[in-house]
Amino acid sequence: MGSDLLGISVTGLRVSQAALSTTGHNISNAGTEGYSRQRVDPITNPATVQGGRFVGNGANVNSVDRIANSYVSQQLRIDSSLAADLTAFFDQSSQLDNLLSNESTGLTGGLQTFFAAMQNGADDPTSIPARQLIVSEAENLADRFNSIDARFQVLEGGVRDGMEVAVERVNALVTNIAQLNLRITDAIGLSSGGDPNDLLDQRDEALRQLSKLVPIQTFDQGRGQTNVLIAGALPLVVGVEVNTLSLEPGRNGSGVDDVILSDGKAGRVVTQAVNGGELGALIRFRDDSLQPAYNSLGRVAVVMADEFNRIHQQGITPENEFGSRFFTDINDPVNVRQRAISSSENTLPADRQLGVYIKDTANLTTSNYLVEIKSNGLYSITRNDGGVEVASGLLPGDYPFSVEFDGLELEFVGGSFTEGDEFTLKPLANGARNFGRVIANPEDIAFAAPVVTDAEIGNTGSGKITAGNVIGLTNNEGEALPLFEHVGEMSPPLVIQFTSERTYDVLDNSDPASPKQLDPPIRNQRFIPGVSNPIFPTIEGQHQVSMAGEMVGLPEGRSPVTQALVNPPYINTPNPVSGVSELDFSVNDFSGVNQFSFVVGLSDTVLGAQDTLTTVTVSGSDISSEDELLRHINSQLGPSGVRAYVAIDGVGNRSLAVHAVDEGYGNVSIQSYSGPANGTANNLLNIGIESGLSYTSNDGLNGIEGVGTLSNGYPAERITLTKAPAQAGLPPTTYTVFSNLHGSARELASQLSNIPGVDANAFTYAQMSDFNLSRNEPLQISLNGHELVEYRAGGVEGSRSMVQSVPDPDTDPVAFNQYLAARINGNETLKQQGIYAVAGQNTVTGKAELRVYSSEGDDLAFSVVAQNGDGVRVSDGEHNPVTLIGSGNNSPSQIVVGGTMNVRMDEDITLTTRPPTSLLFGNTSASDFSASTYLGIDVSLSGVPDTGDRFTLDFNQDAASDNRNALALVNVESARIMNGNTASLTDAYGTLVEEIGITTNAAKINSEAAEAVLEQTETLRNSISGVNLDEEAANLIRFEQFFQANAQVISVARSLFDTLISSF
């Protein structure tokens, strides 16, 4: 019995000892990170059957349990990762925020100081100290850009160092975790299934430390081993196997390090997958804050340098020389090559060459770009911010080849571009680093503008011209524009001359007494009174073609169009008083034998389409006047295409005649008389009709043969405009226009102007000169069917008399010229059509001439009716004139002057015709067929100019005291020259500061919140797994009492055993 009691007490001692040891172990590890308190789990030993009863055998240690909650541990890892991520990001972002927003280290103060110096110089452009201050402040501004960029590099170096440390710690931790997996498995095997609590704690702590560095996921593999994944799917630890991390330069040419996960091969890039923990925070700060800050600051530097250089180079120094670059060239060849970085994984040979040029700073973004070469020679350019494809196409195979996007021009210089090649474009990353002052001599600062404008003293209108400024000195190819290619002069000087109140020409004013058209011409430009009207094209690359074909205007070989008429000789004896032969109306009864008839014919019309033969019978009515006679005859001629009229010769003799209604090809005849030969017909008509003769206009025998076609003679042609594709490899866009046969320039211009990127300006010019006319009836000059010489109608048809106010063109041609101009300009119909006239004098002959314009390009049809032999010359101002000669009343001599046009097109549009040598446009395949319209100057007119007003432009010879260009340089500070011309330099930098500030403030708030959440989770974990020293102290006392009680049992058992022994 005693021995059984002894054994039972021994088991109690063992349990108590284990409990005390575990409690001591808990107390010893109370300060150990990640330690989970342990607890002894005792179990009752199986009882022994004695005498039909069960007698207990004490207790035993079933297990030593680790008090831990796996869900809480997992949440602790998640919260630790988030807190470490946000804290690390805030630490980095706050440094960047302090750098940019601080007045002593940021850019704002430098910009303000520099532009204040510029304003000071503009206020006194002749001051050398003011100019020297500008040079000094320009150097300070360059230093400020450079120093901010240098601080960026320090931050970037710190990020790189932090990433290296983080990667080293990750590798050490995953190695430790794998070793712990092995030790745990071995320990479980040695203990026959018991948990190695301390090793489990160590592994959980290692996992927690790892989660602070990178985002991880874990899962139980069995046998006590835990696998660790990074980025949700990529293994870091699998059992006892380890995949480590490393840093390598970006394989796609990004210029920054990538995180590589070893996989037994080349390794896998997992940079973007590391989106949490301290390492993820460093990557996110680098990619989302620091790299965009490089680009944002670089963009401000690039735009500042480019805009300032552009304006400065368009000004002139006190020595009348154009300014040089003020700051460094943004497209320096070295910088151009550095902006494109090849991927390290591109196939060999490494012979690809690319260059990135900055073409339009206003449209630059802050993004980097990825260039990919795909199958079949296709390329794609994608903006890294947002992944938007900005350009794509087919590589042509012939290099160099360029493509433009987002204000950039990417040039494929050459090399063996192969499918799979990748390149990173970083056009702005080094912008602030490369910013520097170039100008050193204060006297080289170009404060003055090279253009000076003036309104001539004799102007009668209220038109005003702006001072003018230069907007460019070179074309897109970098070639000097001709206007300022000679130092100290404008080639040529220009004059703006108003041809009417609403139209003007811009002329070469090299000879002020005789200005001439430019090449290409700026002619017949429309002016809108009361608003500002830009005078010159301001789109660089825009070019112009002009209608200059053989058939345009009034070309050589054109002759007047005549109207067929037959005018038989008169036979009646002249009146002895007046000396004029009159129609004889003494016979007024045509009944019976006095009735007669004759045939009027119209022949030789085009294709005979209008040929007619009409019998006219004179009978029935009393005919007592010319009016009744003509009404009687013409009512029978009806739609025959001919009309009867009374012909009047130079001295006033009158007789019956017949003319064709329409002008142009045809002949008129009077024939086949039928009636009594008693003199009645002869006397009535005053022609020898009773003789049976035939009178015809054929070959001008008895009148005038109809010749020509009253049209401009323009042919129908096919005109094609081709717009180059925006990206190589894509098809061009074509537009086809067909000109109408004899169609006006206005009609064709309307069709062309409907094409995007095309502006056709049609106009017509004609002049009348050498007025060899007498002020006698039937003098008439018509324009587009509108009679200009005024008549007062009489009672008899054909008996109109000229009004007294018509000047005599023979004795006062100047007054007659002015009279015609007034009649044209006072005609409301012509005015609405944009047709007007200016009376002037020929600059060579000094003779009066009438200049007629159609501002819309309508045809100008001139008709002259005059005494036989009188005439006037008509020309288009380019070709030899055509003389319109009079042949008496109802015998017009006519001509049509066609219009011309200038077609302005965007740079990527070309115009061709079929056939290539066009009768309208000339040789469209000639190298000089198209000419640039860009002169590089900007001038505007406003007010209400008058006809004849002139405004001159010339080189500014008074540069020393001129500050116009200086003011333009000052305006760079506030000008909206960024973000598509919506933001200024300070706006753009302020946006950068604001974005970083917002990001930093958000990071601070989020970091504090994450720390608070982590603290709560740690408190929860400690409440479950942490060591409570008060509780453990109580347990010591309790377990000590258990131990002492068990020792007392042993003492009792020994005493009983001794008593039993002594009884023998």
- pLDDT mean over 900-927: 91
For residues 837 and 788, is the Cβ–Cβ distance under 8 A? Answer: no
- In this structure, what are the phi and psi dihedrals at residue 160, rounded to the nearest 5 degrees? -65, -45
pLDDT top residue among 419 and 222: 419
Q: What is the tens place of the pLDDT at every residue in 368-414?
A: 999 999 988 899 999 998 889 998 888 887 889 899 999 999 999 98
pLDDT top residue among 129 and 60: 129
Q: What is the tens place of the pLDDT at every residue in 784-811?
A: 999 999 988 764 444 567 888 999 999 9
DSSP state of 882: E
Q: What is the tens place of the pLDDT at every residue in 184-222?
A: 888 887 876 678 877 887 888 888 899 899 998 888 888
Q: Is the pLDDT of residue 1007 over 80?
A: yes
Q: Which band of pLDDT confidence, cut at 50, 70 and 90, is reported for residue 3?
A: very low
DSSP 5-18: HHHHHHHHHHHHHH
pLDDT of residue 756: 94
Q: Which band of pLDDT confidence, cut at 50, 70 and 90, is reported for residue 574?
A: confident
Give dist(CA 386, CA 367) in Å, integer: 9
High-pLDDT (> 90) share of the chain, %: 48
Average pLDDT, the chain: 88
DSSP state of 638: G
- pLDDT mean over 588-609: 84
- pLDDT mean over 142-148: 95
Residue 929 tokens read as 């067929």
pLDDT top residue among 568 and 18: 568
Which helix H or strand E contains 703, and what residues bound it? strand 703-704
Classify 836 as helix, strand or coil.
strand
Instruction: Give the CB-side neighbour count of residue 565, counting CA atoms within 13 A.
Output: 24
pLDDT top residue among 107 and 255: 107
Residues paired with residue 685 on neighbouring β-strands, in sequence order:
none
pLDDT of residue 1023: 79
Residues paired with residue 39 on neighbouring β-strands, in sequence order:
65
For residues 646 and 658, is the Cβ–Cβ distance under 8 A? Answer: no
List, in order, residues 6 or more apart from 759 with CB less than 8 Å away: 753, 903, 904, 905
Give dist(CA 660, CA 566) in Å, integer: 9
Q: Which band of pLDDT confidence, cut at 50, 70 and 90, is reported for residue 2?
A: very low
Residue 810 tokens read as 């023979």
- In this structure, what are the phi and psi dihedrals at residue 840, rounded to the nearest 5 degrees? -155, -165
- pLDDT mean over 524-550: 87
For residues 420 and 346, is the Cβ–Cβ distance under 8 A? Answer: yes
For residues 372 and 342, is the Cβ–Cβ distance under 8 A? Answer: no
Give dist(CA 769, CA 838) in Å, integer: 12
Give dist(CA 1038, CA 1052) in Å, integer: 21
pLDDT of residue 796: 45
pLDDT of residue 192: 67
pLDDT of residue 1: 42
Q: Is the pLDDT of residue 957 over 90?
A: no
Q: Which band of pLDDT confidence, cut at 50, 70 and 90, is reported for residue 729?
A: low
For residues 218 and 75, is the Cβ–Cβ distance under 8 A? Answer: no
DSSP 447-468: -B-SEEEEE-TT--S--EE---
List, in order, residues 6 or more apart from 25 with CB less than 8 Å away: 38
Q: Which of 216, 221, 252, 209 is nearest to 231 (CA)?
A: 216
Q: Quickly count: other Cβ atoms within 10 Å of residue 534's Cβ.
A: 12
pLDDT of residue 493: 95
pLDDT of residue 728: 61
Whether cis (ω within 30° of 0) applies to the bond prior to 809 is no
Mean pLDDT highest for which of 228-237, 433-442, 647-656?
Answer: 433-442
DSSP 13-71: HHHHHHHHHHHHHHHHTTTSTT---EEEEEEEPPPEEETTEEE---EEEEEEEE---HH
- pLDDT mean over 303-310: 95
Q: Is the pLDDT of residue 704 over 70?
A: yes
Q: Is the pLDDT of residue 676 over 90?
A: no
- pLDDT mean over 547-571: 89
Which helix H or strand E contains 633, and what residues bound it? helix 626-637
Give dist(CA 659, CA 865) in Å, integer: 13
Q: What is the tens place of the pLDDT at every residue in 44-95?
A: 888 877 777 887 787 887 777 787 888 888 888 888 889 999 999 999 999 9
Q: Which band of pLDDT confidence, cut at 50, 70 and 90, is reported for residue 578?
A: confident
Pairing of β 654-660 and β 900-905: unpaired
Give dist(CA 177, CA 228) in Å, integer: 9
Give dist(CA 932, CA 889) in Å, integer: 51
pLDDT of residue 396: 84
Render the burial of 20-52: b for 16+ CB within 10 Å, e for the rest. bebbebbbebeeeebbbbbebebeeeeeeeeee
Q: Token match 């066009």: residue?
A: 918
